[in-house]
Amino acid sequence: MDLRESLEPRGRLQVDGNVALLDATGLHYRELNALMRRLSAEGVENVELHNVNGQRYIGTGLKRPMNIIVRGTPGNDLGMFINGQRIFVYGNAQDGCGNTMNDGLIVVHGSVGDVAGYAMRGGRIFVRDDAGFRLGIHMKEYGGKKPIIVVGGGAGDFLGEYMAGGLILVLGLKEEKNECVHSPKFVGVGMHGGVIYMRGCTIHAGKNVLVEGVEDEDLKLIRSLVEDYFNHFNLDLRVNDFISDEFVKVTPSTSRPYMGLYR
């Protein structure tokens, strides 16, 4: 049943067992998130949101696992603090996607704005297209968890700024072509942990990082993540040909990047 044909505007809701359909037309973000928390408390495990238009904090504050499909454009801080929930966006996402997420999965069939993955300490974010500035800023590893961000297109400046742990993979794909389309500046400024892999592009790295070629172990990890990326977005690129392209690896040169600044 098409939700847009079966429901009237302003938050009309249908629930069938553990599946809910919700039309977000005209809903304030507080109303929308209150409904989401109520559905979670009642044991609903699958929610599909239609006509999302800038509502913030979707997925935040849920106490149980939930699969959330978002059709439209969610607002800032999508998936903020999520702890095991899975969010699939069919559209673009605004700033702060995955802010401080602890665990779970966010898959965006479009682009994300600035500061995606801010301070995330677990879980995975897959972005089909591009990411804005400061992707993965303050990422960290916590309690045995390793956060991962994979971006199919390009990333803006200050990629991995102050990064303390985790992994960022930027593939540099151009729509329908196997080409690199980005040249970020200030990559890894203040970075003191984690790793960034970037494919086939010119980068302008911070002074405190090392930019090197990848080794066999790196390629095994990249291959696994590329396969996951292709599967999430139903792409049919040949993985072997793609993996044969040149990647670079960005790592911190010191665990104390500002040690000498205040002497």
Query: Mean pLDDT, to the nearest integer, of 170-187?
Result: 73
Q: How many domains does the chain have?
A: 2
105 and 181 together in one domain? yes
Domain final residue pick, 30, 51, 68: 68
63 and 82 together in one domain? no
Residue 262 has pLDDT above 70, yes or no: no
27 within domain boundaries = yes
**SS3 assignment, position 203:** coil
Lowest mean pLDDT, pick from 193-197, 227-231, 240-244: 240-244
5 and 36 together in one domain? yes
Domain final residue pick, 44, 68, 92: 68
54 within domain boundaries = yes
pLDDT at 142: 86
pLDDT at 256: 72
150 within domain boundaries = yes
pLDDT at 244: 65
202 band by pLDDT with thresholds 50, 70 and 90: confident
pLDDT at 149: 98
What's the pLDDT tens digit per position in 7-60?
444 558 999 889 999 999 999 999 999 999 999 999 999 999 999 999 999 999
Q: In the numeric block, which tokens belong to residue 8?
A: 């009237």
152 band by pLDDT with thresholds 50, 70 and 90: very high
8 and 84 together in one domain? no
105 and 228 together in one domain? yes
262 within domain boundaries = no
123 and 238 together in one domain? yes
Other Cβ atoms within 10 Å of 151 Cβ, number:
30
120 within domain boundaries = yes
Question: Range of 29's domain?
Answer: 1-68
Q: Which residues contact 226 (CB under 8 A, 6 or more apart)?
A: 150, 169, 171, 239, 242, 243
CA angle (131, 164, 199) in 5-degree steps: 40
61 and 89 together in one domain? no
Residue 146 has pLDDT above 70, yes or no: yes
Domain final residue pick, 68, 90, 124: 68
210 and 145 together in one domain? yes
Average model confidence (pLDDT) across the chain = 89
C-alpha 250/C-alpha 45 separation (Å) is: 39
pLDDT at 4: 38
DSSP-derived secondary structure letter, 37:
H
Lowest mean pLDDT, pick from 137-141, 236-240, 259-263: 259-263
41 within domain boundaries = yes
263 within domain boundaries = no
Residue 263 has pLDDT above 80, yes or no: no
58 and 187 together in one domain? no
Please state the three-class secondary structure of 225-255 as a single string.
Answer: HHHHHHHHCCCCCCHHHHHCCCEEEEEECCC
CATH number assigned to the domain comprising residue 91: 2.160.20.60
pLDDT at 6: 43
Residue 231 has pLDDT above 70, yes or no: yes
235 and 179 together in one domain? yes
259 within domain boundaries = no
pLDDT at 259: 55
42 and 163 together in one domain? no
Instruction: Identify the residue whose tokens are 């956060």.
Output: 147
pTM score: 0.91
Find the DSSP H helices in the chain: 3-6, 29-41, 216-232, 239-243
122 and 205 together in one domain? yes
Query: Mean pLDDT, to the nearest integer, of 65-73?
Result: 97
What's the pLDDT tens digit per position in 81-121?
999 999 999 999 999 999 999 999 999 999 999 999 999 99
Q: What is the dihedral of CA 20, 26, 29, 34, to 10 degrees?
A: -40
Residue 209 has pLDDT above 80, yes or no: yes
